[in-house]
Structure 1
Amino acid sequence: MIDHGFTDRTGRGVTLREVTDGNWRAVADVAPLDTQRDFAPALAARYLLLSSREDTWHSFAVYAGELALGHVMWARDEDGSYWIGGVLVDGPEQGTGIGCAAARTLAAWLAGRDGCEVIRLSYDPANTAAAALWTSLGYLPTDAVEDDEVVVELAASAAVSAAASG
């Protein structure tokens, strides 16, 4: 379990946990709001398949308290940078701060990994909610584009500082 002490707005501790035989169904059933279907798959199951069928991405279950309510994954690129992807919080739980706490937890954990200097991710430029979240967490735009998506990055040192300040 990865726990950096972040909570959602209701006070539940938000942790990242391995996807196991005991929780994979709950994670697979995580579904975004219908209004997000242009930016995310209908279910987190797609991300679980991606991480189980390829060696690049690694999935975590996002827990609030003892409930699996989200999914996030990470990868290390050939250039040594670390990437965040597949951030998905169950629709009814959105707006409670779970996604923000999960993103901060994952960034802090990645920043402590071997050779991590920068953490990157991409999002559709029309996804204003994603833009607001990542900007609020200190991610800065790069000149890069990945599959027509905006690429943003956070220095590992900034992720460590953010985790320390809680």
Structure 2
Amino acid sequence: MIEPTIELKALDINNWDKCIRLKLKEDQTKFIAPNLYSIAQSKVEPNLLPYAIYANNEVIGFALIDSEPDPKDMCHWIPRFMIDASFQGQGYGKASMKKIIEEMKAMTNIAAIRISFDPDNDSARALYLKMGFLETGEIEDDEVIFEMRLV
């Protein structure tokens, strides 16, 4: 399978409404906060940067990236990541996560990226392991924490 070409674009007046219209599969909605919540959160926490994920000039997903290291662990976090249900299972998740990691590496000189998810979210676990994240053994807010060391 040819990896899709992915673009990350900062959330703006042209794409915010497309991001809030993105849908997960019905059984996935319990695993992640709605994009509207994430967008609102980014307005009160300026270190959280919302991105529309594009493929072929179409919004296919949403990501929220923390631009500052967490003072507890000095890691950067990906608080939210989702791909619209109609684009899942086609390589967009892997290609999008690869692009997000590239974007985060370019932001600053960071040692690690962390992401957390519901332990029952098997598709997230499989994707993150495939991308090179490793389980830390830590749990926060009932979510397992995975980490990718960059140095």
Task: Confirm or deny a common fold (TM above 0.5).
Answer: yes
SS of equivalent residue, structure 1 residue 112: helix
Distance 1:44 1:31 in 2: 9
Q: Which residue of 1 aligns with 2:103?
A: 109
Contact 1:14 1:62 in 2 (8 A): yes
Deviation at 1:141, TM superposition (A): 0.9
Q: Which residue of 2 aligns with 1:66?
A: 57
Q: Which residue of 1 aligns with 2:147?
A: 153
Distance 1:54 1:109 in 2: 19
Deviation at 1:36, TM superposition (A): 0.5
Distance 2:95 2:12 in 1: 21
Unaligned regions of 5+ residues in structure 2, if any? none
Deviation at 1:133, TM superposition (A): 0.5
Contact 2:6 2:95 in 1 (8 A): yes
1:30 has 2:22 as partner? yes
Distance 1:10 1:137 in 2: 17
TM-score (normalizing by structure 1):
0.82
Deviation per residue, 1:64-114 (Å, 9 max, x gap): 110011101111212431111211111111111112111111112212332
For residues 4-153 of structure 1, the aligned pairs below 5 Å read 12-41=4-33, 43-75=34-66, 76=68, 77-78=70-71, 79-153=73-147
Stretch moving more, 45-54 or 119-128:
45-54
Stretch moving more, 68-77 or 47-56:
47-56
Q: How many residues align?
A: 148
Unaligned regions of 5+ residues in structure 1, if any? 1-8, 158-166
